[in-house]
Amino acid sequence: MGYIRDAVVSGSFYPSNPGLLKKEIEDYIKNAKVEEVTGNIVGMISPHAGYMYSGQVAAYGYKGVSKFKYNTVIIFAPSHRVYIDGASIMDKGAYRTPLGTVEIDEEIAEKILKKGDIVKNNIEPHRYEHSLEVQLPFLQVVLKDFKLIPIVIGGEIELCEPISSIVYEAIKDSKKSFLIVGSTDLSHYYPYKKAVALDGIAVKHLNAFDIKGAIDDYKKGSFEACGIAPMITTMYLSRMLGASNAKVLKYANSGDVTGDKSGVVGYVSAIFFKAI
């Protein structure tokens, strides 16, 4: 199988015991009240904090996609530890969590690498990156059987459209079905009311599927997102794959969980779908 990327935040961001982890995720999903979407979900935005903070928000999106079958999940995640010029893909091997291993879709990864040099084959940004890892246990519970394309992106917002185009060109003729996941949290450590106001701008653009508006307002500092590049790339690629509608399923912040509203972190769950 090649290189196995072992879980690095198991036991801190989420339980290391497989039974406890599965039950926690199932409880989050059971508690998420999601109206059925008329259409096929192509992409989603999901938070990446510790499950005790953002797990319930993440569950809304994962409950939404649980009714669909996907062969391969493409996750775009920000890099918190390693500087990246462009994007980094892990093209072989697997990611491992307490719930088992998820194999890389090596066929699709090879096609992506052949489409342009913005996306490079580089394991290093993946080794300790939590923002991609924390999505996997949710996916393992709701989808069970799927392959993975893990892509860690640098912060250059100008590269989001080229990266999405490269991936689109690699998958557009495939018979496989794909889910695109963009991993991001929103504002960090503002007082509760300020955070809700800032995050509301991001929520507005996600709900409207307004890519240009999101980019413009982010550049003006009207809102914050630590995974802005994964968020925008997911929006672009979802649009390219035929999604025409968007819906924010849940917004909350850490203050809603802990009760400490002096400095909070914002979380959002949103989906992009093809209307029927």
pLDDT of residue 36: 84
pLDDT of residue 38: 82
Residues 6 or more apart in contact with residue 175 via CB below 8 angstroms:
none
Q: Kindly state which CATH superfamily the domain 4-275 is placed in.
A: LigB-like (3.40.830.10)
Contact 235, 214 (CB under 8 A): yes
pLDDT of residue 116: 83
pLDDT of residue 276: 79
Separation of alpha carbons 152 and 128, rounded Å: 11
The pLDDT tens digits along the chain (276 residues) read 679 999 999 999 999 999 999 999 999 999 999 988 889 999 999 999 999 999 999 999 999 999 999 999 999 999 999 999 999 999 999 999 999 999 999 999 999 999 989 999 999 999 999 999 999 999 999 999 999 999 999 989 999 999 999 999 999 999 999 999 999 999 999 999 999 999 999 999 999 999 999 999 999 999 999 999 999 999 999 999 999 999 999 999 999 999 999 999 999 999 999 987
pLDDT of residue 1: 62
Amino acid at 167: V
